[in-house]
Each structure stands twice: as structure tokens, then as C-alpha cells.
A and B are shown apart, each in its own frame.
Chain A
Amino acid sequence: MTSLFINDQEVDVAPGTSILEACRENGAEVPYFCYHPELSVAANCRMCLVEVEGWAKPAASCCTPVSEGMKVKTQTESLAKDREMVMEYLLIHHPLDCPVCDQGGSCKLQDYAVEHGASKGRYAEHKRASVNYELGPFVNTCMTRCIHCTRCVRFADEVAGTGDIGILNRSDHMNIAGIVEEALESELSGNLPDICPVGALLDKPSHDVSRPWEMSHHKSTCTQCPNGCDISIESRGDEVMRIRPIEHSPEPWICDRGRYVYDAFRSDNRILKPTMRRDGGGLVEASWDEAFEQVITLLKDKRVGILFSPDWSIEGQMAIRLMRDALFPDAKVAYGLHRRDMRTFAFEEGFSMTTAQIEAADQVVVLGSDLRQRLPLLMQRLRKRGRAGKPVSRIGAMNYRTNMDINNDALVRPRDWPAVIARAMEQVREVGKTAAGFDSWMAAVSDRHEAGKVLADALMADSCALLVGEEIRAHEDAAALIHGLDLLMRACGHAESDNDGRNLIPEGMNRQVLSATHGDVRASAGDIFAAASAGDLDALIVIGSDPVGDGVFPSAAKAALAKVPLIQIGSISGEMAEYASVQLPAAAYSEVEGTFVNMEGRIRIASNPIKSLGQERPLWKVMMRMIQVMGAEVPVVNLDELRAAVVERLPELAGAWAGGATDTVLIKPRRNRDVSIAPAARSDSFELDVVSRYSMYREGMWARASKLLTEAGRIHALDDVLVHPETLAAKGLSVGEHKVRTFLGENTYHIGVREDVSPGVLFVGKRGVAGDLSDVSGASIEGGAA
């Protein structure tokens, strides 16, 4: 530790800390503009000057490291004058338009002008003009207000990795500008207005809609991806106006999906009242009683399948289980739309590491995931580790753009995964690292794939984080692949409790909890649809999920829904409305008190005092009411009892609900040591493997109900169907419409090419939109238009 004196008070800080950070840690107020704890230091605003005893000139505290015994003063007359002058310089060209500026009320410049500025500026010359520039649907610019702190430039370079904002010209003609085609090429672009200390970059969707002081803030959890970021929901009255990150939470940023999904809260697509079909007509409004009458008719003593979304709070999900147990004790339940292989996984969905640990690991290998779309904040952390010189490797069906340099990269077809893993096993065994089961696993695989070297090399490090993605999780032979990876991790010492690098990227929130609460009754969504289509079920209950718009079973879902009636319960209507016989409204995540567990096992209890917009009720109450109207005994009558039911299955949660710490209570994903599944030979004869891409802008009911995200999805979309140029060339075909055969039949698609796609892969850029292709894992291009 280094000890120094700040305003005569002795303090200890870590060596190498800047004076500014030492002051912040010790409660000494130092004004600044350009400094930002998450960005590199620029030291250009010169507002953070302090005096150091014995130094001739004041020092910029943000870029001056502390030294032993240093005596720092933060409040002197001469500093006050310096700060007044910096304010005067800054305000030379700044417009006096605070009353009409969105930043007014939460503006550093305004605050400091009051605190440190002179009452009157003396600049009497003409003001400089500036041009605004286009940054896409989320960010507005008003560059006359820019104070050139370059936070946005550093953000674009360092955090987003896009580098599309820069500094043009010099002297007082220097200006900040963006070069974008239609929009910033970042899925984190909504953070720009937050980091701009003044009103130069503004949130476009909320521009001119509200003023900071009108807002109330509610701490909540974003359920839009398994990262489960802490968010502040800002509302005016009961209308959600914005969503923003929360300072001092594990991630200082949130992604555009989590931020801009808010416009779905008040979209036309919300289910705000019960509806039902009368006499086979369209859905019309009904009272709760009428709707439940209908529910009774459709479900009483029937065989049902239940499908729900991972977005619900743990309480809501537990209530679903209680409803099932009370009303349909034989029903199978699905809570995902990706998993084809229902055999037990050697390691279940969820992370054994925190994102901070992943950032710090010696090696990170991303297996089959478009991480930038799937977990943009984790991707951002990988960029951060990249800047610190730490390697990231990747194997997958596509060179997903990451906005960072990947150190080792290999393209593989999904059918190659066994050969990749077997190759890695061979390599690690050569240096004496092995595990029981290696031999039989390897023996089941006849060929070896070079990409295995990327994996094996990384496994040689002291710590290695595997990030296992959807290409493996949704694989038909997923259990065998995960078993293989588990063996590799064991062999290399990365499966110990203090060095567990096994992270299976989950489909949504709360996965570790769901294994405990629903694991025993779980089925694949595909099996449920197949059962319905085969006449083995009489009805489907779908709760907050949209198997037609999302996931890998849309065709199966459509077939099933054509056959049996649907009871839809949820907040968003979506594509399901077309099939629903009854809709029951359940409250959105902005409207309920609930508990969530993210992929790391961090627990978050959200309280959301925003009132319902219509007649929607918290999901657990809808479930209890349903139990009651169907004539069974209501198992719980309040949240406490409901939580007690969860604790019975998952004791780890008791502490959190009892008011204990939540950040430290981590629920680890399940491990299933006795799994032993060898890979199977592929049975179909399709020449191409189909891989579909998850898009953060269009996957999920909420995202599709958001106009903002839909527009962003349009801008960032890839072509529908892509293959490697060689794949087409080998067939003597060129880009255009081609017939594609799958087990569902033949269909025509426009097929584009991209070097980034692995040869032998048919890449579906827009899942769902591409209809039949979402359901299949193999296809052949027949050539010629249908």
C-alpha cells in the first residue's frame, strides 16, 4: 500500500492508483469530465487539477499516480481559480440552452458551472459552429454542446470495439464525429448518451419526451438475456420511459436489447385483458370469469403439455410447477426452445465462473456461440481482457464478428464437434493428461478435426474458461459432446471446485433454479409438440413463450397448434395470438416483485412498484386463481409461502430471501458426474449442417414487440440464408434462389455467400423468419429454382 495525505488526512491506497481515484476512494471531492472509471485515462479536460506539496504546477489528478508520502490538496484558492478558468474555457463555445436540453438536471457541466464557475463568462468573440452527425436509431447528437472529453471515442474503441467515433481536425476546430452506415455498429450503443457528461449525445428514443427530474427510478433486473443485468427502470407516473444501467453493479453498461425493449411494455402487442374466442371468431375481450370458464372447458380432466419461458421470476416459475402438480400431475413441462437432446448433461446450463473470473482467466475458448449477440456484456469483458493482452480462442460454424482480435480461430461444421473433441483428447493425452472414459469416447469417433488443437492448446493453461454455446447446447448429440468436454476439463484440471472452467451458456435466466424445480418433469418442447400432433395431448398451455417465432421447433409448434387448443398466458401476444383460444394477462417484469438468478448464479430481488397498465396480475396469482377455479386446493396464498416452496427444493435461496447478501450467494449449475455418453454416428444423409443465428434484436417475444429493437434488427440483419462461397461453387451454383431439401420437404430460399461461414454449413441468419429451416439440423441444396 502507498500512504499519502489528502487534505492533511493520511490514507492508504494500492500502489499505482491515480490521485483522482485515491480521492474518490477517500471521499475527497475532485471535479472531472473526461475521467471515467471504465475507460482509459485521457487527461484532456484538465478539470481535475490538484496541488501537490513541492510541485511547481498543479497536477491533473486523473493521470498522476500516487507516491509515498505525497501531500495532496484538493481545495485551495488557486485551484478554485483554475477550475473557474477551465469552466470559462469550456463554456466559450457552449450554447446556453440548458432549459431545452435533455441533459439539463443531470449535466456535469451545469452542476460544475454552479459549483466552480464564475457568474459571468467574458468571452465576447463569435462562437464556433458544429455539425451534428447521424448515429442511427438510438443516439442523437447535438455537437455544439460537446466539450471534447473523448469519452465516447474511447467507449467506441475500447468497450464497443467498433472505433466508429473519432476525433477530426485539431485546435479549436477539433470535433468529434462518427462514421456509420446506418447506425453505430455496436450492440452497446445506448450507453453513449450515459457516458456523455453533457448533452452532446442524447438518447434518441426518449429525446424531448421527458426531463430527468420527472422520472422515478426503480431498481430491477433485466431478463432479456442470461446475464441478468441490474437495471434502473425510469418511469414517469406508471409509464416506463427508459431503462438504464445501475452504477456500481457488476456491469457498468447494459446492452441495447435490455435498454430499448422498454417500448414493448406499452406496445399494442401487450395482453392487458383476458380475451377468448366466441363461436370460433377472433379473440375478443372477456372478463376474468368468462375466460376461466373457457379454460375449465378446455382443460378440465384433459391431457396437457406445458411450455413456459425462462423470463419469468423464480416465484412465477414455481407457481407454474404448483399449478401443474395440482391440476395436471402427469403433464410434461418444457422451459426452453433450443434443446433437442434431453439426455442428462454432464454439466448443466449455467456458469461455474463469474464474468470477472472469465475476464481474468489465462485462456478463454468460445465454442459455437455468437457471443456478441448472445451475451454482449460478456463479449465486452472479453474485449477488455483482449486489451490487457489475454488471449481468446474460438471454434464455431461461423466467424461471428466480435469487434476484437481473436487469437486462435477455427471454423467447423456441427457434425465435426466429436472429431474436434477427440483430436483435443488425443493431444492432451500425449502430455499425460487423461480421464477415465477418454478411450471409449475417442473410440466412438472415427475421424479427427484439426480445430481440436485450438481447444487442446488452450486447455494447457493454468486456468481455462470454456464458453459452450448454442451450437453445442442445441446439437442433436449435445449430451455426448458435453460429456466429452467434461472429460477434457477433468483431464486438464479445469473441473476442480476452485478451478472450474465449465460454463454452458444458458438459454435464459434462472436455469440453475429450473433444474431444481422442474428437472424431474422436464421434456423437450419438440417432444411436447410431437405428442400433441400425434393426438397424445388434448391442449397446450403456453406461458410467456412463442415457439413459432423463436427457437428451433417452429414447424413442429405450428403443426401441434393446428391440432389442439392453446391456452396462452403472458404479457405479450406475439405470433401465439393466431392460435390461442384464451389469453390470460400476466404482469410484465417491470410490474412485479420477483427473484431472478443469472447465469453466474447471482441472485437479484427486483421490486417493481410500477402499476399494471390493464388487468394483468402477477403470474403466480394467475396460477393460483387457475388452481382455484379448476377446483383444486390452492397451495400457497402469499409470496412467502411460495418462496418457501422454492426453498424446499433449493435451500441456497433461503438466505437471500431472509435478507442476506445476494451478490455473494451464487447458485452453481448442476454437475452430473456419472453421465457417460459416447457420440453417435450421424444418421441422415444431408450434405449440409444447418446452424441458425440468435439475434438479440429479434429473438424473444419482448424484442419483437419493441419497435426500436425491430428497427435495429432490420439495420443489423444478415441475409436469410448463407453458405461459404466454396459450398455453392462446388455445386456449380452462384448466389440466388435455390431449392433446399430437408426432412420437412423442399423449399426455395435465396442463398447468399460469406467467407465467414464454415464450408459445409447452411447458415440461417434470421431464425424464425426462415420458417422450416429453423427446425432442421441437416439440409441439401438441390440447385435450380423450385
Chain B
Amino acid sequence: MSADAVRFSEERLAEIDALVKRYPGPQSALMPVLYMAQEDFGYISMEAQKMVAQVLGLRLMQVREVVTFYTMFREQPCGKYLLEVCTNAGCMLNGAYELADHMCNSLGIKMGETTRDGMFTIAEVECAGACGGAPVVQVNNIYHEKATPELMDALITQVRADGGAA
């Protein structure tokens, strides 16, 4: 992504202005603004971090500290579909590792990797807070509870058939 592509739109900037007013200090708006950057640009590049720092009047280091602390902020691009398999206790006890292995096989990649077509990234995550529906897989943050190999395969096939639309 070229440096000048990393700019918030006017609407975004207006949104940010309104957002900042909801907090006692502008730094509080940093996390929401980083989400916006991630949504708009796919990931949060160094250029984007510099821009966010400038928009909020923060130092680059203040932004870097936050981006690197939280796992949901990505400094690298990932697949169009991010499959996050919870393997923590509740899910582990209900077959999460077997499910994860199965999904890796179906996708032909290892945990943490992205398919060559850039469609899927698979990652192992910590407790999703839905252990009652273990095992849990999040697809772009949408929860799929009581996930089974069959359901996941169906989802993967569906996405591939649609060519990634939707």
C-alpha cells in the first residue's frame, strides 16, 4: 500500500471528531480509531500508525505500544476470511485441537498461515468466552459454536465456490 493511500476519509475524520468527545482525553479514542484503520486498510501498517498518531495528536510510540499489545490489531495483512479456532480449556475438552488439525488439512496450510489465494488465514486463539458452545470458531469475528469438521468444511467450500464474495 503506498503511503498516500493511508488516509482517513472525511467521513471517518468527522466520526473520529465525534468519538473523541465521548472521552475525557483524546488518547482514549486510540483503540476505536485503530479499529477504523484496520477496517479501512485491512491491517495497520506503520504508515497507518503514523497517520493515526497525527490525527489524535499522539506520539508514534503511544500508538505502537497499543498496536503491539493487543492481539486483535494486525500489523500484517491476513486472509479475507480469518478463521480463529479457540483451543482453550472448554474447547480443548470438546475436540478443538482435532477440529483445528482438520481445518488446517482442509485448507492445506499450517496454523497461523494464509492460503496462497489470500482467502483464508487460520489462527489459534484464546478463550472466546463462549465455552458453552465449545468448540468455537470465529470467522471474521462471527461466532460459530459447536463447530464440527463438517460444518467448517461446508463453510470453506461455500466461500471457495462463491469466489470469496459475501
Contacts and interface: CB of A to CB of B under 8 A. Distances in A.
- A–B contact, 8 Å CB criterion (strictly below): yes
Interface of A: 163-170, 177, 179
A166 B69 contact: no
B140 interface: no
B68 A169 contact: yes
A167 B60 contact: no
B51 to A, nearest CB: 15
Contact of B62 (A163, A169, A170, A177): A163
B155 interface: no
Centre residue among B60, B61, B68 by max chain A CB count within 10 A = B61
Contact of B69 (A164, A165, A169): A169
A168 B65 contact: yes
A207 B59 CA distance: 30
Contacts of B69: 168-170
Nearest to A156: B61
B21 interface: no
Contacts of B65: 166-168
A284 B18 CA distance: 73
Interface string B133-166: 0000000000000000000000000000000000
A171 B60 CA distance: 22
Contacts of B62: 163, 166
A168 B68 contact: yes
A168 B64 contact: yes
Given A163-B62, A168-B65, A169-B69, 10 more contacts: A164-B59, A165-B61, A166-B61, A166-B64, A167-B65, A168-B64, A168-B69, A179-B60, A179-B61, A179-B64
Centre residue among B59, B64, B68, B69 by max chain A CB count within 10 A = B68
Contacts of B68: 168-170
Interface string B51-72: 0000000011110110011000
Contacts of B61: 163-166, 179
Contacts of B59: 163-164, 179
A170 B67 CA distance: 11
A163 B61 CA distance: 7
Contacts, number: 24
A167 B69 CA distance: 9
A-B residue pairs, 8 tightest by C-beta:
A166-B61, A168-B68, A169-B68, A166-B65, A163-B59, A179-B61, A170-B69, A179-B60
A170 B126 CA distance: 15
Contacts of A166: 61-62, 64-65
A164 B58 CA distance: 11
A164 B69 CA distance: 17
A165 B65 CA distance: 10
A220 B65 CA distance: 41
A166 B69 CA distance: 12
A521 B31 CA distance: 66
A70 B59 CA distance: 43
A165 B64 CA distance: 11
A165 B61 CA distance: 7
A164 B53 CA distance: 13
Interface string B67-85: 0110000000000000000
A36 B60 CA distance: 26
A164 B60 CA distance: 8
Nearest to A164: B61
15 contacts: A163-B61, A163-B62, A165-B61, A166-B61, A166-B64, A166-B65, A168-B64, A168-B65, A168-B69, A169-B69, A170-B68, A170-B69, A179-B59, A179-B61, A179-B64
Contacts of A164: 59, 61
A163 B60 CA distance: 9
Contacts of B60: 179
Contacts of A177: 64
Contacts of A168: 64-65, 68-69
A169 B62 CA distance: 12
A600 to B, nearest CB: 33
Nearest to B67: A168
Nearest to B65: A166
A166 B64 CA distance: 8
A168 B46 CA distance: 14
Contacts of B64: 166, 168, 177, 179
B56 to A, nearest CB: 14
A183 to B, nearest CB: 15
A173 to B, nearest CB: 9
Nearest to B59: A163
A182 to B, nearest CB: 15
A165 B62 CA distance: 9
B25 to A, nearest CB: 13
A169 B66 CA distance: 8
B142 to A, nearest CB: 26
